[in-house]
Amino acid sequence: MLSTLYRFARPALFALDPEDAHEATIKALELGLHPRQLGTDDPVLRQTVFGLDFPNPIGVAAGYDKDARVADAVLAMGCGFAEIGTVTPRAQPGNLKPRIFRLVADRALINSLGFNNGGHAAALTRLEARKEKPGIVGVNIGANKDSTDRPGDYARGIETFSAVASYFTVNISSPNTPGLRDLQAPAALDELLARVMEARTRIVSQGGSRRPIIVKIAPDIAEQDIVPICERLIVHAVDGIAVSNTTLARDGLTDAQATKSGGLSGRPLFRRSTIMLARVFEATGGKIPLIGIGGIDNGDAALEKIEAGATLLQLYTGLVYAGPGLISEIKSHLAREVRRRGYSDVGALRGTKAQQWAALPL
DSSP 45-70: G-EEETTEEESSSEEE-TTSSTTSSS
**Amino acid present at 12:** A
Tell me how far apart the alpha carbons of residues 270 and 308 are, in angstroms, rounded to a whole number. 12
Query: Residues of the chain with pLDDT > 70: what percent?
Result: 99
3-state SS, residue 108: strand
Active-site residue (options: 174, 244, 273, 328): 174
* pLDDT at 1 > cutoff 60: no
* 312 strand-pairing partners: 291
174 assigned to active site? yes
Q: CA-CA distances (angstroms) from residue 193 to 151, 155, 190, 280, 335?
A: 8, 9, 5, 18, 36
Q: Are 86 and 171 in contact (CB under 8 A)?
A: yes
Cα–Cα distance for residue pair 292/174, rounded to 1 Å? 16
User: What's the distance, CA 176 to chain centroid?
Assistant: 16
Rounded CA-CA distance 222/240 in Å is 20
In this predicted structure, what is the pLDDT of residue 164?
A: 98
Global pTM value: 0.97
Cα separation, 265 vs 294, in Å, equals: 6
Q: Could you read off the pLDDT of 258-313 as tens digits, one per residue?
A: 999 999 999 999 999 999 999 999 999 999 999 999 999 999 999 999 999 999 99
Cα(336)–Cα(342) distance, rounded to whole angstroms?
Answer: 10
In which band, very low, low, confident or very high, does the pLDDT at 9 lie, cut at 50, 70 and 90?
A: confident
- Of residues 314, 313, 315, 307, the one with CA closest to residue 286: 307
Mean pLDDT across the chain: 96
* Range with the poorest average pLDDT among 94-103, 179-188, 316-325: 179-188
List, for residues 125-169, the tens digit of each pLDDT value.
999 999 999 999 999 999 999 999 999 999 999 999 999 999 999
Q: Quickly state the pLDDT bin for 82 (edges 50, 70, 90).
A: very high
| One-letter amino acid for residue 25 of the chain | T
> What's the pLDDT at 6?
83
Q: How many CB atoms lie within 10 A of CB 298?
A: 16
If we measure between CA atoms, which residue out of 62, 125, 115 comes closest to residue 92? 115
Amino acid at 135: G
Residue type, 294: G
8 A C-beta contact, residue 314 and residue 291: yes
Query: Average pLDDT in the 28-47 region?
Result: 95
pLDDT at 2 over 90: no
| Cβ-based neighbour number of residue 285 at 10 Å | 10
Cβ within 8 Å of residue 171, ≥6 positions away: 62, 85, 86, 140, 141, 142, 216, 245
The pairing of strands 290-293 and 263-266 is unpaired
